[in-house]
Amino acid sequence: MDKNRKTELYEFYKSCLLEDCIPFWLNHSLDHEYGGYFTCLDREGKVFSTDKSVWFQGRGLWIYSRLCNALGKRDEWLEAARLGYEFLVNYCFDTDGRMFFQVTRDGKPLRKRRYLFSETFAIIALAEYYKATGNMAALDKAKSIYKMILSIYDNPANDPYKITPKVYSETRAMKAMAVPMILLNTNYILREIDNVNCKCSGNACDCSVNYADIAKMLTKEIIEDFLKPEEKALFETVGINGERLDTPAGRCINPGHSIEASWFLMKEAEYQKDTGLMQKALNILDWSLDLGWDKEYGGISYYADIEGKPIEQLEWDMKLWWPHTEALYALLLAYKNTDKQKYLDWYDKVHNYTFDRFPDKEYGEWYGYLHRDGTVSHTLKGSMWKGPFHIPRALLFCMQLLED
Amino acid sequence: MDKNRKTELYEFYKSCLLEDCIPFWLNHSLDHEYGGYFTCLDREGKVFSTDKSVWFQGRGLWIYSRLCNALGKRDEWLEAARLGYEFLVNYCFDTDGRMFFQVTRDGKPLRKRRYLFSETFAIIALAEYYKATGNMAALDKAKSIYKMILSIYDNPANDPYKITPKVYSETRAMKAMAVPMILLNTNYILREIDNVNCKCSGNACDCSVNYADIAKMLTKEIIEDFLKPEEKALFETVGINGERLDTPAGRCINPGHSIEASWFLMKEAEYQKDTGLMQKALNILDWSLDLGWDKEYGGISYYADIEGKPIEQLEWDMKLWWPHTEALYALLLAYKNTDKQKYLDWYDKVHNYTFDRFPDKEYGEWYGYLHRDGTVSHTLKGSMWKGPFHIPRALLFCMQLLED
C-alpha cells in the first residue's frame, strides 16, 4: 500500500471516528442523570428503551478510556468514561460477584445470564480506565474479576451463580469457541496494561495472574478443539473434548466471529512471535471470507452451515455491521504481517461494501442490519447488542496500523 | 361466497392437505426405529438433525388423530399417531411431571424450558388420540397434565420445575398473552372431547375440570389485560396486572399471533353465543391485519412496534408461513360469522399471497420463511419450529368451514 493511500485511509477513518461515530454516542447515549450509557437509540439518536446493557457499560467505558490512551486525553472522553465507571461499579454487580446482563435506567437488575461476557467487557474497561486515570481501584477490580472468571473457566463448579443448565450435559456436553476467544482478548488487553504496572513482563509475579501461560492455554484450546483444518473452518460449538458435532449447532459457522477470532490470534502470534500460530490465524481469515462472503450480493453473511445443510437462525443471510468492521481490521493486520496482495484485494472489497452501505449519511453513525441484498432492514443505531464498540474499535485500530 | 367458489376452494385445500402436505410428513418425518417424529427436514425432506421437538411430538400426534376424527380413520394416520403417542408418553416427560422441550432421537433429554407449550400440545394430542382410538389412558393423561398446568397458571409456585427466573420479577413483573391464549385453545379442544365422554356439557362434574369457568377466566384475562382498544392492538406482553409497558417487549405486536388469538376467541364466542366477545375478536383481526400487512411488498410482517419505534428482533419484517395460514382460517371464520365482504376481500388477498409464494412446487410442502420482499430465505421444510401443524390445521379447518 503506497504512502498516499495510507494517509488517505488514515484521515478517512479518523474523520469517521472523531467526527461521526464518537460524537453520535457522546451526544445521545450518556445518561447524565443516573450515570452509565443508553444504547437503545433510534435512527436520529432518540432513546427507545432506557434499559441498560451491562455489556455496553463495559464496552463504552473501554472505548472512551482507550481513546484517551491512544489519542491523548480529552475532557469529554474522561467525563463519559467516569459516567460509565461509576454506573458499572455501583449497579452492574450482583452480591455473588457475577455481573448482570441488563439493568433498568436507575440500576435495578433485570436479567442475569450464565455467560461471562459482561465480566470480560468489564475487565478490559476497568483496566483501560485505570490506564487513563491512574485509578488503581479500577485495575484491582479488573484483576479480581479476571481471577474469578478464570476459576470458573478452570472449573464450572466454581461459578457462584447456580443457574439452571440450558442443555443437559449428561446427554450432550458442549463448549463454545466464544469463551476461550473472548478470554484471549481479555488476557491480551489486561496483560498489556498490567505488565506496565507490575513489571512482570508477562510471567507470573505477585500480580498473581500468569498471563503468558493463560494465553498459551487459550490459544491451544482454540486451535486444537475448535479449528478443523480438514473442513477449513473454525467451529462455534464442539463437544466438551473438541469432538465435531453433527447437529445444526455443531455445523454452524459464524464467519464474522471467526474473522474476529483470527485477528485476536494474529495479535497473540505477534506478541508471542509465533509464526506457526500466525499462519493458522491467517488460514482462519482466508477460510472465513471464502465461506462467508456472499458471491451474489456481496457482504459477509451472518451464519453458514459447513455442510451446506439448512440453517435454523432466521437472520442467517443478513449482513451485520460488526463482521465487516472486524474484517477490515483483520485484513489490514494480515497485510501488515504478510505483505500479500490478496489481503489488500479483500480489504478493498470489504471496505467498499462497508462504506457504501452501512453509514447513515443523513443522521450519522451506521445502520447495523441489512437484508441479504444490502437494503436496510433496521434503522436503529443502537440496541442491547449494538453500541459504541465494534465500529470505533475497528476505526481506531485501523488508524494505528496505518500510522505504523 | 357462491357455491362454486366454495366447492373449488374445498377441493383445492383438500388436495393441498391430502396430496401434498400430509404425504410429505408421512414420507419423511416418521421415525420407524425409535418412534416419534423428526421435523428438521431439508427442502427434499432429508433429515438434517435427528433431535426431536417435544412440541411436534404433540402437534404431530394431534394432527394425525384429528385427521382420523374429521375425515375418517386411515391406517397410515393411525400408525403415525401411534408412533407419536408412544414416543411422547415414554420419552417426553420428566420425573416431576413437566415435559421436556427437546430430546435426542432415542429420547434422552436435551432441553427443558420454563414455558408450558410442550404440555398444552400434549394435552390436545392425547385427547384427540383418545377420540381416534378409544384409548382411555390417553384422555386420563391429557386431563391430569391439564390439571397440573392449570394449577401452575393459578399459582406459579405450584410449578414443580424450579428453573432460574429469566427476568427479575421484583424489578419488572410481566406476563405473556401466549399463556391464556394457548390455554383457551387447549380448553376448547379438551372440552369438546371430554364433554362427549363425561356428558357434563361443559359444567363442573366428576371429570373435575370446569371447562366453562376456565374459558370465561381465560377470555376475561385476554380481553381485559392484553387488548387495548385505545391503541387498536392485542399486546404480547403486559405488566402482571395488565399495565401497558413502555419497553420494546411491551410495545411489541405479533400480528400473526394476534390473528391466531382472534380465531381462538371467535370459536369461544360461537361456543358461548357471546356476540360481544365475537365483536372484540373481529376487532383484533381487523387491527392486526391493518398493522401487520406490508403495504409495500404484501404479506404479514412478523413483528411490529405499536408506536413505530425500532424493533430489536432481526427477523421482524420477514414473512413466515404460519401468520398466513392463521389469517386464512380467521378470515373465513369472520366471514361466516358476519357475512361482510371486507373479510372475503382480505381472504382473497391473503390466499393469493400465500399460495403464490409459500408452496414449493418442485419438492412439495411449503417454504416457511421469506424475506420481506417475498423471496425465499430458507428452503428447509421443517425445524424445531416448523412441522406438521399450522398448514394442515388451517387446510383442514378451512375445508370444514367451506363444507358447512
Whole-angstrom distance, CA of residue A129 vs CA of residue A87: 13
B371 and A372 in contact by Cβ < 8 A?
yes
pLDDT of residue B404: 79
For residue A52, give the chain B residue with the closest CA.
Answer: B247
Average pLDDT on A192-216 reads 71
Q: What are A120-145's pLDDT values in tens digits?
A: 999 999 999 999 999 999 999 999 99
Average pLDDT in chain A: 96
Helix pair angle (B390-403, B321-338), 10° resolution: 20
Distances (CA, A) of A315 to A255, A304, B315: 14, 11, 6
Whole-angstrom distance, CA of residue A255 vs CA of residue A270: 22
| Cα separation of the two ends of chain A | 12
Q: Where is pLDDT greater, at A217 or A206?
A: A217
Contacts of A385 in chain B (CB under 8 A): 312
- Compute the count of residue pairs across chains A and B with CB atoms less than 8 Å apart: 101
Q: What torsion, rounded to 10 degrees, do the Cα atoms A61, A222, A225, A328 define?
A: 90
| Closest Cβ–Cβ partner in A111, A168, A312 for B110 | A168
* B164 and A CB contact within 8 Å: yes
**Which of B306, B305, B363, B358 lies closest to B327 in space, CA to CA?**
B358
pLDDT of residue A207: 55
Q: What are A326-378's pLDDT values in tens digits?
A: 999 999 999 999 999 999 999 999 999 999 999 999 999 999 999 999 999 99
Residue carrying the nine cell digits 362454486: B4
DSSP-assigned letters across all residues of A63-118: HHHHHHHHH---HHHHHHHHHHHHHHHHHSB-TTS-B-SEE-TT--EEE--S-SHH
* B195 and A CB contact within 8 Å: no
* B173 and A CB contact within 8 Å: no
pLDDT of residue B1: 87
Q: HSE (CB half, 13 Å, CA atoms) of A97?
A: 17
| Closest Cβ–Cβ partner in B108, B167, B247 for A49 | B247
Residues pairing with B176 in the sheet: B237
B110 and A171 in contact by Cβ < 8 A?
yes
Contacts of A323 in chain B (CB under 8 A): none
Whole-angstrom distance, CA of residue A313 vs CA of residue A317: 9
Residue B205 reports pLDDT greater than 80:
no
Residue carrying the nine cell digits 422441550: B101
pLDDT band at B201 (very low <50, low <70, confident <90, very high): very low
Distances (CA, A) of A76 to A16, A25, A65, A81: 18, 12, 11, 9
Whole-angstrom distance, CA of residue B330 vs CA of residue B233: 16
| Cα separation of the two ends of chain B | 12
Q: Reduce the DSSP state of residue A165 to 3 states and report it.
A: coil
A168 and B42 in contact by Cβ < 8 A?
no
Whole-angstrom distance, CA of residue B122 vs CA of residue A1: 64
When scoring B100, B303, B312 by the number of chain A Cβ atoms within 10 A, the one with the most, hence best to mutate, is B312
* B377 and A CB contact within 8 Å: yes
Contacts of A383 in chain B (CB under 8 A): 310, 312
A315 and B310 in contact by Cβ < 8 A?
no
Distances (CA, A) of A79 to A60, A93, A133, A392, B283: 12, 22, 11, 18, 52
A49 and B166 in contact by Cβ < 8 A?
no
Q: Contacts for A326-329 with beta carbons within 8 Å, 24 or more apart?
A: A326/A256, A326/A259, A326/A260, A326/A263, A326/A390, A326/A394, A327/A256, A327/A259, A327/A289, A327/A300, A328/A354, A328/A394, A328/A398, A329/A263, A329/A393, A329/A394, A329/A397, A329/A398, A329/A401
Q: What are B372-391's pLDDT values in tens digits?
A: 999 999 999 999 999 999 99
Q: How far away is chain B from the Cα of A332, in angstroms, using its nearest Cα? A: 30
B42 and A172 in contact by Cβ < 8 A?
no
* B352 and A CB contact within 8 Å: no
Q: What are A28-47's pLDDT values in tens digits?
A: 999 999 999 999 999 999 99
Which spans in A155-237 are helix H?
178-198, 211-221
Distances (CA, A) of B79 to B26, B65, B74, B85, B132: 10, 10, 9, 10, 11
Residue A258 has which C-alpha cell?
471467526
* A370 and B CB contact within 8 Å: no
Q: What are A48-107's pLDDT values in tens digits?
A: 999 999 999 999 999 999 999 999 999 999 999 999 999 999 999 999 999 999 999 999
Average pLDDT on A204-213 reads 73
Contacts of A237 in chain B (CB under 8 A): none
Residue B20 reports pLDDT greater than 50:
yes
Q: Tell if the pTM clears 0.90, that is, is over it.
A: yes
Whole-angstrom distance, CA of residue B376 vs CA of residue B387: 18
| Closest Cβ–Cβ partner in A48, A317, A385 for B310 | A48
For residue A162, give the chain B residue with the closest CA.
Answer: B164
Whole-angstrom distance, CA of residue B309 vs CA of residue A43: 10
Q: What torsion, rounded to 10 degrees, do the Cα atoms A292, A293, A299, A305 define?
A: -30
Whole-angstrom distance, CA of residue A125 vs CA of residue A389: 11
Which amino acid appears at position B297 of this protein?
Answer: Y
pLDDT of residue A198: 54
* A371 and B CB contact within 8 Å: yes
A310 and B104 in contact by Cβ < 8 A?
no
Q: What are B336-375's pLDDT values in tens digits?
A: 999 999 999 999 999 999 999 999 999 999 999 999 999 9
Contacts of A48 in chain B (CB under 8 A): 248, 309-310
Q: What are B81-117's pLDDT values in tens digits?
A: 999 999 999 999 999 999 999 999 999 999 999 999 9
pLDDT of residue A404: 79
A109 and B317 in contact by Cβ < 8 A?
no
Contacts of B383 in chain A (CB under 8 A): 310, 312
B109 and A171 in contact by Cβ < 8 A?
yes
Q: Where is pLDDT greater, at A203 or A226?
A: A226
A314 and B377 in contact by Cβ < 8 A?
yes
Q: How far away is chain B from the Cα of A5, in angstroms, using its nearest Cα? A: 36
For residue B246, give the chain A residue with the closest CA.
Answer: A49
Whole-angstrom distance, CA of residue B363 vs CA of residue B366: 9
* B95 and A CB contact within 8 Å: no
Whole-angstrom distance, CA of residue B275 vs CA of residue B40: 42
pLDDT of residue B204: 43
